[in-house]
Structure 1
Amino acid sequence: MATTRQVALVTGASSGIGKAAALALVAAGFTVVGTSRDTSRVAPSGGVTFLDLDVTSTESVTTVVQQVIEQSGRIDVLVNNAGLGAAGAAEESSLAQDQRLFDVNVFGLIRMTKAVLPRMRAQGGGRIINISSVLGFLPAPYMASYAASKHAIEGYSESLDHEVREHDVRVLLVQPAYTNTEFEANSLRADSPLPVYAQQRHIFDDMMAAAIKDGDDPAIVAKAVVSAATDPKPKLRYTAGPTAGRVSTLRRIIPARSFDKQIRKLNRLAG
């Protein structure tokens, strides 16, 4: 049944940033469909309808997008939020683990994007909002694969935005900093830990736990998502919160050598 209200589809909406974004879009007047890998574990929340989705499965992605179109007749906003974290030295993770991370964070996003684009072009517009990170433009020692996945999302999004803009479709990025979610608990741990990295890995783990505990509320990121979904003249990139904004500015204005030293200092790296 077609609806006159704008429809938003939010992946990974059962908790954290995805849940906050879905609820904020409901409050902004959207009909919102959220997804989770297992909706039987998701309690009803704030007017969001949930569907099961595995972003690593093309069949699952196609089925969910078709369900939304059949039920609502349209998809105006896609929020690609589903993702995995990963921690550990790059040498410590197997190639299979790195591929799993990319299959969710990058190829899952691409699957969803390819599935909704034909409908958005046919209806004469839409917005695809990809949840990136400040690690989409920063180096991240002991999170190399995760940072690489976010760098890939940045390049894909900006390039695609140029391709589809003439069809009144925009591809936009939201860049959070550390956010107070279950990110760390749900992150992949390196499957081949090496003693040579053990001490620095523990330092990183402690630093990450503290940063997330003191991180931004997911509602701050959700506010940026709503802005990306509703601004009459949207920006390509939305930094979410004051920390993300400061880091983005510093990245642009600080000389490369000085920035490199600061990264090492913040991560307590020798040399």
Structure 2
Amino acid sequence: MTNERKRDDAPTGNVALVTGASRGVGRGIALVLLAAGFQVYGTGRSIDQADLPREIVRLRCDHLNNDETARVFDAIRSGSGRLDLLVNCAWGGYEKMVEGGAFSWPAPFWEQPPHRWTGMMDAGVRAAFVCSAHAARMMTPRRRGLIINISFWAAQRHLGNTIYGIAKAATDKMTSDMAVELKPFDIPVIALYPGLVRTEAVLAAAKSGAFDLSTSESPEFIGRVINALFHDQDLMARTGQVLIAAAVAKEFGVLDIDGKSPPALTLADL
């Protein structure tokens, strides 16, 4: 781990941890929270090489490793003494999508490579569970905090990969049940769905015509939505729910970095 703070240099604002902050959605969220005044910790296996401002505390972590995950929270406890926001964005499901020259991601479940289960369920769902458990231990004594689990529509409709659907459905159910157990401590838990996000991988695929980016979202957009939710005084009324980021944005008047208001996708759009 690198760039860790000492307690005598602890921040006075809100403290956030964004897992999977090296690139894509996680990086966008981390950038927005930093600009909004949060002290931001970001994790990732390649976080040391990530294009991030120096103010973001980089904690190298493979969330498949329990000891490395535990050290992340030890560092936050030592550096800041508390945690106000956890955004579970770590996800290994999009790795090795092309193998042996073939696009294996949409193959039927009986032809899926074992690593894809590990990437989606262990590096995704399990990582979010373990991080949420650590976060809850820090948040419940203060009766303050927010846990956001990044999920997607695959929980509600088959989108080309059975494991993908299982992982997202598990994330939504995990959110719902965690919310029940954290409600007595006034700590909301939310599952948040992005739309089509202009991540590095999506932009690369768009060059071949794979995606229509006309209604897409920047990686920073969902970070703006999370910041708005964090400051919502009535957020406990939403705990345990699945929220569509673009729909929440319209409610709060949140715009994307280009000044646009991305449409809220529905199942019919998918």
TM-score of the aligned structures, taking structure 1 as reference length: 0.76
**Letter in structure 2 aligned against 1:139:** H
Q: Is the 8 A contact 1:7 1:77 kept in 2?
A: yes
Deviations 1:75-128 (A, max 9, x none): 110000111234222232134532342101110111111111111011221111
Q: Equivalent residue of 2:140, what SS?
A: helix
**Letter in structure 2 aligned against 1:18:** G
Hey, what's the Cα distance between the residues in 2 that align with 1:183 and 1:212? 13
Match of 2:101 in 1: none
**Letter in structure 2 aligned against 1:42:** A
RMSD across aligned positions (CA): 2.6
Match of 2:253 in 1: none
- Percent identity, aligned pairs only, is 26
Match of 1:163 in 2: 181
- Runs (4+) of structure 1 moved beyond 6 Å? none
Hey, what's the Cα distance between the residues in 1 that align with 2:25 and 2:115? 27
Among 240, 246, 249, the alignment partner of 1:241 is 246
Match of 2:112 in 1: 93
Offset, 1:130 = 0.7
Hey, what's the Cα distance between the residues in 2 that align with 1:211 and 1:148? 26
Among 59, 69, 79, the alignment partner of 1:61 is 69
Distance 1:220 1:138, change over 3 A: farther
Match of 1:269 in 2: none
Offset, 1:237 = 3.1
Q: Equivalent residue of 1:29, what SS?
A: coil
1:77 aligns to 2:85 (yes or no): yes
Offset, 1:211 = 4.5
Counting matched residue pairs gives 231
Q: Equivalent residue of 1:165, what SS?
A: helix
Q: Equivalent residue of 1:173, what SS?
A: strand
Residues 1-271 of structure 1 mapped to structure 2, 5 A cutoff: 1=7, 2-45=10-53, 47-86=55-94, 87-89=105-107, 90-140=109-159, 142-183=160-201, 209-211=210-212, 215-234=216-235, 235=238, 236-241=241-246, 245-247=264-266, 251=267
Hey, what's the Cα distance between the residues in 2 that align with 1:172 and 1:125? 14
Deviations 1:203-261 (A, max 9, x none): xxx78x315686322222122221232211123333122677340xxx4xxxxxxx6xx
Q: Is the 8 A contact 1:53 1:61 kept in 2?
A: yes
Q: Which runs of 5+ in 2 are unaligned?
A: 1-6, 95-104, 248-261
Higher fraction of helix:
1
Q: Is the 8 A contact 2:202 2:211 kept in 1?
A: no
**Letter in structure 2 aligned against 1:55:** H
- Structure showing greater Rg: 1
Hey, what's the Cα distance between the residues in 1 that align with 2:139 and 2:169? 25
Deviations 1:124-175 (A, max 9, x none): 21111111112232221x2221122111100000111011111121111110
Offset, 1:20 = 1.2
Q: Is the 8 A contact 1:6 1:31 kept in 2?
A: yes
**Letter in structure 1 aligned against 2:245:** A
56-65 vs 16-25, greater mean Cα deviation: 16-25
Hey, what's the Cα distance between the residues in 1 that align with 2:188 and 2:265? 25
